[in-house]
Chain A
Amino acid sequence: MNQALSTSTASKADVTASYGDPVIEIRDVQKWFGSHHALKDISMTVRRGEKVVVCGPSGSGKSTLIRCINGLERHQGGTIEIEGVELVDRSLRGIRREVGMVFQSFNLFPHLTILENCMLAPMESRKLIRKEASERAMEYLSRVRIGEQAKKYPSQLSGGQQQRAAIARALCMEPHIMLFDEPTSALDPEMISEVLDTMTELAASGMTMVCVTHEMGFAERIADRVVFMDDGRIAEEGPPAELFRQPKTERLSSFLQRILTH
């Protein structure tokens, strides 16, 4: 917590160095979909407390990469280590307990109330009793400011509220790492900022975050590092100010042009 606060005032250059141990280590990862080579020799390290934004044109592999980190897609070459544990079949459920994920389409459970959505996983995979799970759920729901909606079903909430509920649901597992897969892409424009504000607060609390997004303003505000992917490779990476002001590759500058002027 304190570390996160102190680093926010430090210069961007030594931010990465001042973070903790590597918690995500990706080495030479390959992924194919049939004959399509979706991830090519991907290597990257994320340290504890670090916030990494992944961007790139559609089909560049950014969602595939983030989905490999919690094993929703299984990588076919190279290794992925989460907090020192290699991601294989046996370690999958243990790793997923520590890695939360937020999806573009929310994926809330429609037959359960918001509160029940948040209580399910802590009770089933963390073995919390009902009372503990419910207290924890209410705590995180009020933190994302939808505590008063707890008894409603997802279909009764706005898109922005649903996505904040999905963030609370993931946080109820008290994960060490949070993955966001285009969390605002399915939202109406007026609801994007409420979700980004929630994510900004989460970032300020010191959470390790990897976020696929096209929200460049948000990336600039919270990211320690931006990773630009193109055609299944990491084409460029660095602090957002550097990357956005002086893109080194033609691909990135044309991508930024399209994103910022659309």
Chain B
Amino acid sequence: MNFDADYFWNLLLSTRFLHPAWIVVWMVAVSMTIGIALGAIGGIIMTSAIGPLKHVIRGYVALIRGIPVLVQIIFWYNGVPALTGGAINPPPFVAGIIALAINEGAYMTEIVRSGITAVERGQREASQALSLSYYSTMRRVILPQAIRIAIPPTGNQVINMIKNTSLLFAIAIPEIFATGTNIFSVNFRYFEVIAVVAIWYIILANGYGLIQKAIERRFARGRGSLFGT
């Protein structure tokens, strides 16, 4: 077997991946926040009575979910500047966040939509019978319950996005995988480097898993029947 254990441990315990990991964390935080906002708007429109806008959202979801994330990233970084003759030329971090956020918005639209429709019909009827406006009904009754339903699938999306940031190596963002490729392209220790890269993703993904559990516990308040507290 050809495994350099000393090199592996040194690389794993070095500080080389600390900054790349930080880049992953804040890029996911920003992109996910924008993605959730887009998804909330999209999901609410999809369940509302606004006809024409619904078609726009449906088109957005179908388009974005049909295009690989890597292709979307290259589109924002290389495609848009080429199309506009350089008039719009986003730097790598901006292009990366736009790509991840817009991609996420499409998936979150579906998650928010299904969360809203999963709230029992009786909740809407009780709100109507109490003369609540559409706005009050959504804000006070439907969305608080839809959020509880949407939290577990949203957690999955965060973990997916943490791993999808590895695609940003294609636009020269020094995240975890890009840092790894830079190392093994010099010393050719592919296995050791890939193993360390994988461990960093495992740490971030499962670290988020703990945060997710805490969020779910917090939102379980008053809903014994749903979350089995």
Residues in chain A within 8 A of chain B (CB atoms)? 70-72, 93-94, 96-97, 99-101, 103, 105, 107-113, 120-121, 124-125, 153, 155-156, 169-170, 173
Contacts and interface: CB of A to CB of B under 8 A. Distances in A.
A100 B144 CA distance: 24
B125 to A, nearest CB: 6
A155 B133 contact: no
25 contacts: A70-B128, A71-B128, A72-B129, A96-B129, A96-B130, A100-B129, A103-B122, A107-B120, A109-B145, A110-B145, A110-B222, A110-B225, A111-B144, A111-B222, A113-B222, A120-B141, A121-B132, A124-B132, A124-B140, A125-B130, A125-B132, A125-B133, A153-B221, A153-B223, A155-B222
A153 B132 contact: no
Contacts, number: 77
Contacts of B130: 96, 120-121, 125, 169-170, 173
A93 to B, nearest CB: 5
Given A72-B129, A155-B222, 13 more contacts: A70-B128, A72-B128, A99-B129, A101-B126, A103-B126, A103-B129, A107-B122, A111-B222, A120-B141, A121-B131, A125-B130, A153-B221, A153-B224
A97 B129 CA distance: 8
A157 B94 CA distance: 51
A107 B223 contact: no
A221 to B, nearest CB: 26
Interface residues of B, number: 23
B182 interface: no
B118 to A, nearest CB: 13
Contact of B131 (A97, A107, A110, A156): A97
Contacts of A125: 130-133, 136
A81 to B, nearest CB: 18
B218 to A, nearest CB: 12
B223 A111 contact: yes
Contact of B222 (A93, A105, A107, A153): A153
Contacts of B226: 110
Contacts of B136: 124-125
Given A103-B122, A124-B136, A125-B136, A156 B224 contact: yes
